[in-house]
Amino acid sequence: MLAGLRLSAPAKADDIAERAKKLHFSSIVLDTHDDTTQRFFSKNYDLGKRNPDGHVDIPRMREGGMNAIFFSIWIDGRIMGPPAVQKALDQIDAVHENVIKYSKDLAFCRTAEEVRRAHAQGKIAALIGVEGGHMIGNDIRVLRMFGDLGVRYMTLSHFYNDEWADSSTDKPVHNGLTDFGKDIVREMNRQGIMVDISHVSDKTFYDALEVSKAPLIASHSSCRALCNHPRDMSDDMIKALAAKGGVIQINYERSFIDQAYKDASDKLSGGVVAQFDAITKSCGDDQECVTRKMTDAQKQLTEEGKLPHVSWEKIIDHIDHVVKLVGPDHVGLGSDFDGATMPDGMEDCSKLPRITEALMRKGYKDDDIRKILGGNLLRVMEQAEKVSRELQAQ
Amino acid sequence: MRIEMPRILLKTALCVATAGLLVAGVKSDDISARSKKLHFSSIVVDTHDDTTQRFLDGKFDIGARHDDGSIDVPRMREGGLDAIFFSIWIPSKVTGPEAVNRAIVQIEAVRGQVLKHPKELALATTSAEIRAAHKQGKIAALMGVEGGHMINSDLDVLRKFASLGVRYMTLTHSGNDEWADSSTDKPAHNGLTEFGKDVVREMNRLGVMVDISHVSDKTFYDALETSRAPMIASHSSCRSICDVPRNMTDQMMKDLAAKGGVVQINYHVGFLSQEFRDAEKANPEINKAIAQEVQKRCGDNEGCQLIEGDRLTREYVEQGKLPRVDFTKIIEHIDHAVKVAGVDHVGLGSDFDGANMPYGMEDATKLPKITDALLKRGFSEGDVKKILGENTLRVMAEVERVSRELSKQQQK
């Protein structure tokens, strides 16, 4: 009896771990924001091999059960016009070429249906998002080309305002979206490219929400109620996003999820854009260098005790906050792997099963966990595709 | 003979009886029924049309019939033109990211016209897709990039052009680019540079046909040596008939053919007729005057420039200041190329909407005359079909095969 009791307690705990593992590895786990693309240009990086640094590669995706990924196309928001277009093309090509190179593991996907098919075949779905409207060179025809090449979301701005949308981390000049910016949103609807409102100013968000016929996504933003950062969304914004069927994909960046960290970091270096500015100057044209130096600097400051440690469990707090606010249908995962400083315990994508287990321990239903892991985003994709078909039929 | 006589008489009688009805439909171009039947059952492919420039003003609708230029859907239908390569072209002097951007805008303009007319046009990227479009009664729209300067020395950009549907690239336009010499510029690279050879290899891998129109003879031979797939001259004629650097020598055509390639005859009067060429050379003030007038009428609008240039040249011909060139010159070039390179290595690359057309080949509606003239010259129906399009389709299929092979080697 006694022996039996002693055995049963740990057995119960293992039961959850086991069930969580099963759930996680049978689900579509979709991450909407990964800056791994920048690394494709480095000789030291190979997507097909396990790398000692960074957050994402095929072996670690397999280990962490991450089977759908949006590779982010990103260049400094101050590069505009034709050079921005060409650099974006280079990055789109780098994603395409990696998919060809690793075609046994990866499948390039443009639709929710294709993501499901890739998953059924045991492949990782590779998708593309363009992080910043500056990359269309102020030309709607370039946006169409991005659509033709398989881009499935575009973030309306990056850290700086572009020609037609205000950013959350720049001084407003357009009062949100310009008329041309609204045309861009309409064209995105027509192309089936999801409108991503991460990075944009609150006014841009509300303008886009009003114009868009399809639900919006925040590809990598967290909750302002828990960490007051302009890159995060206020409760009102999350409610408005959800009311139109959209989804917020939680960003794991320490300074977006932890108030103490954000405050300490601001005091040290004057905020994320100031840091970014200083680092870009030292890296020049090398985009991978920018990201690497940003994360390295923060890591070092944490080790030196100048910045507080942040636990991965903060991610769960943010997910839970959204669920409490608007229900389980409007939240997902937008890690910012390879583009941000990860909290302790979420060092790379191999740690993702922790999220599933933590949500299960919180009492989340299996179906709701599946939605958060990827189902919600696929629903929004399908909706964007439906709107696109309708608009094109007109 | 006795048996034949009444049949001939009967036919003549019928013709006389219906002549009044037929005259209106046949116009002045009398095409035999056999020619018509052959022409309209063949897949007619044209590998070079500069109509794309006209798309850029946002007003031109390819679905409507126009009284200027040479190409639109109604006239393609009337002339039985079933597959057309829209040329993506910007002047050689535009380089860098600006060139990439402007090329993209033109690619999207072509795709936009196809989207606007889904019942008439189908975007095609393979020989099989051209055949499928033909079966469905649609015109196959394809794209060729006319000038390597548009990739801005970036293979990533070349690959994305291919993703967007581009199926050939001319290695240069009229000026040298960063990695290849043009036939109409001072040689700077001694043909293809090492990077230029990489471009050709990457085109092979992507299934983008290597187009050697416009390039210098040395570039041609370098490309021929490097390319693992047959090449095309998308719009070049015969230098032995009209001595211009843009045309191919007999030896070049033989060498192109030996590797399975095809020369697509250009209808530009200055490339067809030595007489016209000499007159142009003897009177440089005419071309200068035309260029000035074009600039006045069109400014920087390249679509307008091309059309007005053709119109003004015609005016000089009408005034007797430049010789009149008849469409039969096209037939002469085809015939010569067939004699030199073989019937499997010649096709059509009009340069419609980008050059000065000869009399009798003003637009796509006149194309059945080529079929008619070739049959009259004694070409077999099978050979005419090859020239009209089958040769190009064969080269495309071969380029696709090489691409599949090379891609396979690379997968992990």
B16 pLDDT tier (thresholds 50, 70, 90): very low
For residues B241 and B249, what is the distance between their CA atoms, to the nearest angstrom?
A: 9
Contact B384, B374 (CB under 8 A): yes
Q: Using one digit for the tens of pLDDT, what is the confidence trace for B210-248?
A: 999 999 999 999 999 999 999 999 999 999 999 999 999
Residue A129's CB is within 10 A of a number of other CB atoms, namely 27
Q: Does the structure show a pLDDT above 70 at B24?
A: no
Chain A closest-CA separation from residue B335 CA (Å):
42
- Is the backbone of residue B397 left (phi > 0), alpha (psi -120 to 50) or beta? alpha
Domain ranges of chain A: 2-393
The percent of residues in chain B predicted with pLDDT above 90, rounded, is 88
Of A86, A137, A148, the CB nearest to B164: A148
* pLDDT, averaged across chain A: 93
B412 pLDDT tier (thresholds 50, 70, 90): low
Residue B194's CB is within 10 A of a number of other CB atoms, namely 9
For residues A222 and A218, what is the distance between their CA atoms, to the nearest angstrom?
A: 9
Residues pairing with B166 in the sheet: B143
For residues B346 and B265, what is the distance between their CA atoms, to the nearest angstrom?
A: 7
pLDDT at A275: 75
User: Is residue A172 classed as helix, strand or coil in its secondary structure?
Assistant: coil
Q: Does the structure show a pLDDT above 80 at B15?
A: no
pLDDT at A291: 77
* pLDDT, averaged across chain B: 92
Rounded alpha-carbon distances, angstroms, from residue B51 to A103, A291, B68, B69: 38, 45, 11, 8
User: Is residue A251 classed as helix, strand or coil in its secondary structure?
Assistant: coil
Q: Using one digit for the tens of pLDDT, what is the confidence trace for A131-150?
A: 999 999 999 999 999 999 99
Residue type, A102: Y
Chain B residue with Cα closest to A392: B115
- Mean per-residue pLDDT, A57-84: 96
pLDDT at A303: 85
Q: Which of A19-28, A299-308, B34-43 has the lowest mean pLDDT?
A: A299-308
Measured between beta carbons, which residues in chain B are less than 8 angstroms from residue A137? Answer: 101
Residue carrying the six token digits 């039969």:
B328
- Mean per-residue pLDDT, A17-31: 97
Q: Does the structure show a pLDDT above 70 at A1?
A: no
- Mean per-residue pLDDT, A101-124: 98
User: Is residue A31 classed as helix, strand or coil in its secondary structure?
Assistant: strand
Residue type, B86: F
Buried b (16+ CB within 10 A) or exposed e, B282-306: eeeebbeebeeebeeebeebbbbbb
In this prediction the ipTM stands at 0.84
- Mean per-residue pLDDT, B108-112: 95
DSSP letter for each residue of B48-94: EETTHHHHTTS---TTS--SSSS--HHHHHHHT--EEEEEE---TT-
Q: Does the structure show a pLDDT above 70 at B275?
A: yes
Chain A residue with Cα closest to B150: A86
Q: Which of A289-293, B4-8, B279-283, B303-307 has the lowest mean pLDDT?
A: B4-8
B25 pLDDT tier (thresholds 50, 70, 90): very low
Domains in chain B and their CATH numbers? 30-272+327-410 (3.20.20.140)
- Mean per-residue pLDDT, B300-326: 92
pLDDT at A177: 98
Q: Does the structure show a pLDDT above 60 at A7?
A: no
> Which residue of B98, B117, B163 is the best one to mutate when testing the A interface, meaning the one whose CB has the most A CBs within 10 A?
B163
Residue carrying the six token digits 């008849």:
B326
Any CB–CB contact under 8 A between B105 and chain A? yes
Of A103, A104, A141, the CB nearest to B108: A141
Chain B closest-CA separation from residue A178 CA (Å):
22
For residues B196 and B173, what is the distance between their CA atoms, to the nearest angstrom?
A: 14
The percent of residues in chain B predicted with pLDDT above 70, rounded, is 92
The pTM score is: 0.88
Q: What are B223's two structure tokens?
A: 């490309």
Q: Does the structure show a pLDDT above 50 at B8?
A: no
CB contact under 8 A, B111 and A144: yes
CB contact under 8 A, A92 and B160: yes
Residue B254's CB is within 10 A of a number of other CB atoms, namely 14
For residues B404 and A261, what is the distance between their CA atoms, to the nearest angstrom?
A: 53
User: Is residue A93 classed as helix, strand or coil in its secondary structure?
Assistant: helix
pLDDT at B392: 98
Residue A25 φ/ψ, nearest 5 degrees: -80, 0
For residues A22 and A184, what is the distance between their CA atoms, to the nearest angstrom?
A: 42
CB contact under 8 A, A89 and B411: no
- The tally of CA atoms less than 13 A away on the side-chain side of residue B276 is 24
Contacts 24+ apart (CB under 8 A), A291-295: A291/A35, A291/A38, A291/A338, A291/A339, A292/A53, A294/A340, A294/A341, A295/A340, A295/A341, A295/A342
Q: Using one digit for the tens of pLDDT, what is the confidence trace for B47-73?
A: 999 999 999 988 899 999 999 999 999
- Mean per-residue pLDDT, A278-291: 79
Mention the CATH class of domain A2-393.
alpha beta
Residue B207 φ/ψ, nearest 5 degrees: 80, 25
